[in-house]
Every structure is written in structure tokens, then in C-alpha cells.
């Protein structure tokens, strides 16, 4: 193992060229091979007697079950094993290390209280096939979570089973289709703005709909005239994110809902950015018919790594009868998961998955809600918006805000106009952020903004941490404008690997290690 650099980069480092200096800190850079590449095949961290089978067993009793060839597993001592995994952990940026500025992803801090509750016996060892009489507490958690979600959104029903945001979108569109088909109106088109999350049109296409784009105005909002022109008898739904991916509240949201309903379509709202308005605005009051809620983005459940996740979908009264099953229902003084309420016929489009949901995410989200209360959740939104506007105000004097007029919501969006003439791109700038100890912001999204740099601090960052982040970006910006091109074109210098060929890595990834690689 070779330690190439620890701590803050300095200009005295001979291989760092113009790495620059900053008080933000630097990445810890270590060269750590795969565990299979460690040269330790001939040893093991545990010693067993070779021939001591005990008084009641000898080698002949194994009846040919003894291994004839080596396991080909690396043998490590305890310090080697511990250090290997610690070094791997240090290759990742984490919310526990510093601000995570990814825009439109809402990388919130996960409170340890919520984690502790999710690990309580009775939650952590639940099995989906247990008798319902043994999981009354779990069903009560789900019932309470549903109550909080419907209250906060002003929507009468919620489907808890979707596993994440895109799965929630699929749930909403299946529910909308079921509602249309129930009245003999099989529509085939979904409208989505050019600034929509990529999952919106992708999910609509997966659900079998034709997707038509809605234009955007110069100030970053849905083009109402274009929406009105494209609405018609074949439109099943309009999918709009609010606040949108430009970090702006759709000020014509009620008019969007009115036009959509007048055309006989349903209004689907992407709730990925609900963190910016929770406790302040109820989507149901705005005319929304369906909205998925990413629990990790608003209610602080873990994010990333492919799951497990949860993306509940709240529904209007007109869509509630078509929600996916099963539902948590009150039955004779107890709770149960049923395909429909007792004595009621169901128009549901069926199950979204074999089992109902992810209990760990439910517990964490409910704990977050209960620990904050209604007033606390309102403050979450207010502080998230305040932090984003603080970053926008501090950086706008040097970096070019994509929409400079007026405040933003939960995220500050910059374009690359300020980099013109420097020979430095958004990608170069983002890679240089790694050298000063920060994960890059979201790059080149939304697509409607050239060279986009999307920053979302969330509500959990203190002013000191916001200043540390802004100071680092301002120092990098000054270096860019001063012509220190090598610092950016070669970045990152302080990372486990230098800049990768990202196209090649995506098209020809090495996913399995084999001897000789």
C-alpha cells in the first residue's frame, strides 16, 4: 500500500503541479488493491489442527468430503483485513465527512436515532410471511406513516408498496391507466417538461405511453401556452416536478392542474423535491392527483447503493379506488393487510411487488417525522431553502446563476457562462473539487441549462459548513479565471485514481475479477 497524499494539497508537492491551497481539506489518497490481489494466498488468519478430528471422529468418517484443491481465497491476518476495508471506506465521500452538494438528489443526513430504532428487535428481524397476528406493531407503524403522509400532502390515500421514486412513478401511471380504463377511456399520451427528471419520460415509456415534451420558458418554468396547445383527448397525464429541477417553484401550478383536469387528464407530480415545501405547501391543495415521495430525500432514510428503498405514492380521491394492493385496513379492532377493505369491491390494478414494502425505511421515516413534529418539518423546508439561497448569494458574484432573478428553492443552479474564455469546462471544475475535499455537485443537469452545476445543501448544513464549501469553490473559481488551467485539466490529483475515461468505463466495465486481470 502506498500513501500518495494525506491532507491538504500544497504547491510543494512535486507531482501535484498547480494543485493549489485551500482550508477546505483534501482527499485521502491511497492505492489499495482488490482483496484477491493481495499476495497472501499461502496463509490464514486462523490456525486449525490438521488431523485432530476429536475422539469420536477420524478422517475416514469424512467419506471423501475432504477438499482436494485450495479454496483460492485470500488469507489475511486480522490487521490486514481491517485495514483493507478501512482503506476502501476512505475512498468514498460520505455525508458524515462533509457537505454532499448533489443537486436534485437531496443527500440528507441520516439521524442516528432513526437508525437505532430501525434496528430494534421486532423490526430488524421481521419476515413478510409472518402471521398478521404477530406483526401488529409493524402494521401500526405503516398505518401511522400513511396518516403522516396523507396529512402532510393533503391527499386522502397513499400506496406504501412502491420501492423508490421511479417505481412510484410506475405505480402512479398504472393507477391513472386503471382509472381511465374503468370509464372506457384508454388514452395513450403523457406530457412531461423538458426539465423533468429523466425517470419521468422513461417510466411513461415503460408503462406503454407515448411521451410528448412540454417546453420551458426562459425563466425556468413550464410553458403554459405550450402545455395548453398539447393537451387533448388522448393525454392520460401530465408529469411535472414541483419545485422543479431548476430549483424553482412552478408559480403556475394551479393553472397547470386546471388545464390538465379540463382535458380529462390526471396531474402527476414528481415529489422528489418535496423536502423544499414539506410543512408549508400541501400538493393536494394545488390540484395534484398522484405524487411519489422519495423517503430518502424528504424523510431521511438511507440513499443510494441500489436499495432497499421506499417511494410511497399519495393519491387524490378520484384515483384512490385504483391504488395497488394490499392495503393496511382496520378489521375487528386489529390491523391487517388485505387485497381490499372488508365488504368492498376493488378496482385496484393489483400488486406492484410480491411483498408490501421495506419496514426499515418505514420505521426510519416515521421516526424522523415524529421527532420533528409538524412545526419541525416546516422548519426543515425553510432551512433547506435558506441554505440554498445562501450558497446562491455567496457564489453569484463569481459564478453565473442560471436564473439570477429572484430566490431559488432548495437548490442553487449555475451555468458555465462564467467559464467562457478559460478553456475549463464544468467537468474540469467538478474534478478539481475532489482535490479540495468535496464531492462534485450534479453536472450537466438539468439539460436545459448549458454546463449546469446544480447544488443542493439540504437543511442539515450549518453556516460554517456552507462557508467552508463556498470558500473552496470561490478559491477554485479564482484559479480558473487566473488561467491555472493545468490544475483543472489534470484533476483530480488527490484521489485514489486519476481522471478516468468515463465513456469507456460505462461501455466496457470490468465487473468480475479473475486471476490474471
Dist. CA 417–CA 402, nearest whole Å: 9
> Per-residue pLDDT averaged across 183-188, rounded?
94
Which of 172-186, 197-211, 323-337, 412-426 is predicted with the least confidence, judged by mean pLDDT?
Answer: 323-337
Per the DSSP assignment, residues forming a β-bridge with 266 are: 237
User: Above 50 in pLDDT, residue 16?
Assistant: no
Q: Give the pairing type, strands 334-338 and 327-331.
A: antiparallel
* Residue with the larger pLDDT of the pair 337 and 376: 376
pLDDT at res. 6: 33
* Residue 504 to residues 90, 381, 443, 479, Cα–Cα distance (Å): 25, 40, 19, 30
Main-chain phi, psi angles of 325, to 5 degrees: -100, 165
Asked if residue 159 has pLDDT above 90, the reply is yes
pLDDT digits (tens, 9 = 90+) for 70-87: 777 788 888 888 888 988
Torsion over CA: 228, 231, 236, 241 (sign): negative
How many other β-carbons are positioned within 10 Å of the β-carbon of residue 262? 10
Single out the residue of 446, 100, 158, 162 nearest to residue 283, CA to CA: 158
Q: How far is CA 462 from CA 273, 297, 457, in A?
A: 20, 18, 10
Q: pLDDT by residue (tens digit) across 438-483?
A: 999 999 999 999 999 999 999 999 999 999 999 999 999 999 999 9
- Provide mean pLDDT across the span 327-342: 83
Domains of the chain: 1-32+91-110+376-517 (3.90.1150.10), 122-357 (3.40.640.10)
Spatial CB neighbours of 510, under 8 Å, sequence gap ≥ 6? 517
pLDDT, position 40: 64
Q: What is the pLDDT of residue 23?
A: 38
Percent of the chain at pLDDT exceeding 70 = 87
Q: Quick one: pLDDT band at residue 54, thresholds 50, 70, 90?
A: low
CA distances from 4 to 25, 94, 497 (A): 15, 21, 11
Residues contacting residue 411 through CB under 8 Å, at least 6 positions apart: 103, 104, 247, 273, 388, 454, 455, 456
Report helix, strand or coil for 383: helix
Contacts of 276 (CB under 8 A, 6+ apart): 243, 249, 381, 384, 385, 409, 410
Q: Is the pLDDT of residue 41 over 90?
A: no
Name the DSSP class of 62. G
Q: What is the pLDDT of residue 15?
A: 43
Please state which of the ranges 45-49, 133-137, 448-452 shows the lowest mean pLDDT: 45-49
**Whole-number average pLDDT of the chain:** 88
What per-residue confidence (pLDDT) applies to 277?
97
Q: If we measure between CA atoms, which residue out of 19, 453, 311 comes closest to residue 7?
A: 19
Confidence at residue 476, expressed as pLDDT on a 0 to 100 scale:
98
User: How much is the average pLDDT of 107-130?
Assistant: 91
pLDDT in tens, 374-395: 999 999 999 999 999 999 999 9
Q: For residues 271 and 296, is the Cβ–Cβ distance under 8 A?
A: no
Using the predicted structure, report yes or no on whether residue 516 has a pLDDT greater than 90: no
pLDDT score recorded for residue 75: 80
Q: Is the pLDDT of residue 89 over 60?
A: yes
For residue 50, the model assigns a pLDDT of 62
Average pLDDT over residues 340-348: 64
Residue 65 is predicted with a pLDDT of: 75
Q: What pLDDT, on the 0 to 100 scale, is given for residue 37? A: 80
Q: How far apart are CA 142 and CA 33, in angstroms?
A: 44
For the chain, what is the largest distance between any 2 Cα atoms, rounded to a whole number of angstroms? Answer: 88
DSSP characters over 283-338: GGGGT-SEEE--HHHHS-----TT------EEE-TTTGGGPPBPEEEEETTEEEEE
Q: For the whole model, what pTM was predicted?
A: 0.87
476 with 429: CB under 8 angstroms? yes
d(CA 176, CA 318): 10
What pLDDT score was predicted for residue 302? Answer: 86
> Angle at Cα 493 formed by Cα 429 and Cα 454, nearest 5°?
25
Amino acid at each position: 500500500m502506498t500513501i500518495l497524499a494525506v491532507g491538504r494539497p500544497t504547491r510543494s508537492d512535486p507531482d501535484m503541479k498547480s494543485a493549489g491551497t485551500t482550508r477546505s481539506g483534501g482527499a485521502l489518497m491511497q492505492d489499495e488493491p482488490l482483496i484477491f490481489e493481495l499476495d497472501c494466498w499461502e496463509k490464514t488468519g486462523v490456525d486449525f489442527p490438521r488431523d485432530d478430528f476429536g475422539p469420536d471422529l477420524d478422517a475416514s468418517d469424512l467419506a471423501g468430503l475432504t477438499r482436494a484443491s485450495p479454496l483460492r481465497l485470500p488469507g489475511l491476518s486480522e490487521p490486514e483485513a481491517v485495514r483493507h476495508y478501512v482503506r476502501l471506506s476512505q475512498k468514498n465521500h460520505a455525508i458524515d465527512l462533509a457537505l454532499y452538494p448533489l443537486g436534485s438528489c437531496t443527500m440528507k443526513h441520516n439521524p442516528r436515532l432513526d437508525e437505532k430504532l430501525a434496528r430494534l428487535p421486532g423490526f430488524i428481524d421481521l419476515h413478510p410471511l409472518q402471521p398478521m397476528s404477530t406483526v401488529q406493531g409493524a402494521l401500526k407503524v405503516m398505518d401511522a406513516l400513511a396518516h403522516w403522509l396523507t396529512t402532510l400532502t393533503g391527499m386522502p390515500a397513499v400506496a406504501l408498496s412502491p420501492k423508490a421514486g421511479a417505481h412510484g412513478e410506475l405505480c402512479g401511471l398504472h393507477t391513472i391507466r386503471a382509472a381511465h380504463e374503468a370509464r372506457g377511456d384508454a388514452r395513450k399520451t403523457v406530457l412531461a417538461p423538458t426539465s423533468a427528471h429523466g425517470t419521468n419520460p422513461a417510466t411513461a415509456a415503460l408503462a406503454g405511453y407515448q411521451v410528448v415534451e412540454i417546453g420551458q420558458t426562459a425563466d425556468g418554468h413550464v410553458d403554459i401556452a405550450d402545455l395548453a396547445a398539447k393537451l387533448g383527448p388522448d393525454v392520460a397525464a401530465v408529469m411535472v416536478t414541483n419545485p422543479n429541477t431548476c430549483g424553482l417553484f412552478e408559480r403556475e401550478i394551479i393553472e397547470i392542474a386546471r388545464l390538465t383536469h379540463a382535458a380529462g387528464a390526471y396531474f402527476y407530480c414528481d415529489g422528489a423535491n418535496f423536502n423544499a415545501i414539506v410543512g408549508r405547501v400541501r400538493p393536494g391543495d394545488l390540484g395534484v392527483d398522484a405524487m411519489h415521495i422519495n423517503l430518502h430525500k424528504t424523510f431521511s432514510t438511507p440513499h443510494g447503493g441500489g436499495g432497499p428503498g421506499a417511494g410511497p405514492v399519495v393519491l387524490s380521491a378520484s384515483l384512490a379506488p385504483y391504488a395497488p394492493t394490499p392495503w393496511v385496513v382496520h378489521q375487528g379492532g386489529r390491523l391487517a393487510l388485505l387485497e381490499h377493505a372488508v365488504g368492498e369491491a376493488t378496482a385496484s390494478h393489483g400488486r406492484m411487488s410480491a411483498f408490501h414494502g421495506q419496514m426499515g425505511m418505514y420505521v426510519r421515516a416515521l421516526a424522523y417525522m415524529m421527532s420533528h413534529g409538524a412545526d419541525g418539518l416546516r422548519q426543515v423546508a425553510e432551512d433547506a431553502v435558506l441554505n440554498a439561497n445562501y450558497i446562491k448569494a455567496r457564489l453569484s458574484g463569481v459564478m453565473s446563476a442560471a436564473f439570477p432573478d429572484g430566490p431559488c428553492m432548495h437548490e442553487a443552479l449555475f451555468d458555465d457562462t462564467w467559464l467562457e474564455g478559460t478553456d475549463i469546462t464544468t467537468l474540469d471544475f467538478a474534478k478539481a473539487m475532489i482535490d479540495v475535499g468535496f464531492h462534485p455537485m450534479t453536472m450537466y443537469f438539468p439539460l436545459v441549462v448549458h454546463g449546469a452545476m446544480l447544488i443542493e445543501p439540504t437543511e442539515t448544513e450549518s453556516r460554517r459548513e456552507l462557508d467552508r464549501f463556498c470558500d473552496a469553490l470561490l478559491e477554485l473559481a479564482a484559479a480558473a479565471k487566473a488561467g491555472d488551467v493545468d490544475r483543472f485539466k489534470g484533476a483530480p490529483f488527490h484521489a485514489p485514481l486519476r481522471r478516468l475515461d468515463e465513456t469507456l468505463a460505462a461501455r466496457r466495465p470490468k465487473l468480475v475479477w479473475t486471476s490474471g486481470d
